Structure 1
């Protein structure tokens, strides 16, 4: 069933360090709070997160794409192979067609 599948995917994925999970949870809560009173501030905060994510993920995404097979990367990220390829290409700023 679906819940079993989701559990299997979560168990096979590389764990995110708890410190990062905690920070992301805190950001989620804070942005949600801000969004209720100041939606533009929340949108701006999310944009800053997008920029930060792009900057932080560039090198690691390229390294993963170079060092792992699409199947290995997909399992570690918790996506199917096609989604993992697109995700890594977007984060690593490279073409899927090369």
Structure 2
């Protein structure tokens, strides 16, 4: 699975396509322990064994629902059954990275001076967290206080005026991740 620190609900994986161009559902494996079944959508399980369909091509996919346009053939003779992760999936990964660049390009920009301050705080926290964990905790507490006072008001104002798909896009998140963040901020406003 591919992730970025700021992915916020976007996780990339290799998806597969069958010969007819359809994307198969999960493959189910009998665990031989009653009614429990194991399911997988890992690309390498679509190799035609154990009643799984045989995938012909791979492409990038994202948990947000996006699917890459580029497809790449799968040479099953080169896929090592004990090390399928060694097979070259760099094409789909590069396509997902491009998707994430597109997601980032549609986000609302953070003012440059604020971005610099946030970057500075992040660097300083990384520098002191091992040597001075109590100072790091104090700083994190201050940041949480800022969030708890500004977050609820910003969340309420945004949701009252802006449709959820646009909020998610502006934050570079999936709608599910954006809703989760907004719910986390949901608390009585303090004035």
Which TM-score band (shorter chain)? 0.7 to 0.9
Larger RCO (CA within 8 A; separation ≥ 6) = 1
Which structure 1 residue ranges, 5 or more long, are not aligned?
none
**Please, what is the CA RMSD of the aligned residues?**
1.4
Match of 1:59 among 127, 145, 153: 153
Q: How many pairs align?
A: 94
Please list the CA deviations of residues 20-59 of structure 1 after superposition, one character each: whole Å capped at 9, or x if unmatched: 1000011111112221311121122112211212212221
Structure number, greater radius of gyration: 2
Please list every run of at least 4 consecutive aligned residues from structure 1 whose deviation after the TM superposition is greater than 3 angstroms. none
d(CA) in 1 for partners of 2:155, 2:105: 21
Please list the CA deviations of residues 43-82 of structure 1 after superposition, one character each: whole Å capped at 9, or x if unmatched: 2211221121221222111111111111111011110111
Higher strand proportion: 2
So what's the TM-score if we normalise by structure 1?
0.86
Which structure 2 residue ranges, 5 or more long, are not aligned?
1-94
SS at match of 1:37: coil
**Does residue 33 of the first structure (1) align with residue 105 of the second (2)?**
no
**Does residue 20 of the first structure (1) align with residue 114 of the second (2)?**
yes
d(CA) in 1 for partners of 2:176, 2:160: 16
Higher helix proportion: 1
After the TM superposition, which of the residue ranges 77-86 and 39-48 deviates more from structure 2? 39-48
- Partner in structure 2 of residue 77 of structure 1: 171
- Partner in structure 1 of residue 180 of structure 2: 86
